[in-house]
Amino acid sequence: MGFPIGRHGVSYLGSPVAGRPDRAAAHKLFIVLAGKRPAKERLLPLLECLGKQVFDFGEDPWNSNVAKLGLNFNILASVEHP
């Protein structure tokens, strides 16, 4: 696509995924996406092919990493045995 992204035509997106290898092979990952809107729009068709659902966490790429850490914490807390 012919739009500039960032000062040098480059943009950073955060897009960690949730899902085991079998879900990745079946294109059923959950993808946590954050970054500048034009870059997300450009990448979204690819991410939609890889995953079952894409969750948008705004314009700051680090937001997706924080969300993924929170998800991981909740998973671990739910399987913790007293």
Helix ranges restricted to H, 1-82: 21-25, 37-50, 62-79
Q: Which residues are catalytic?
A: 68
Residues 53, 10: Cα–Cα separation, whole Å: 25
Handedness of CA 11, 14, 15, 16 (dihedral sign): positive
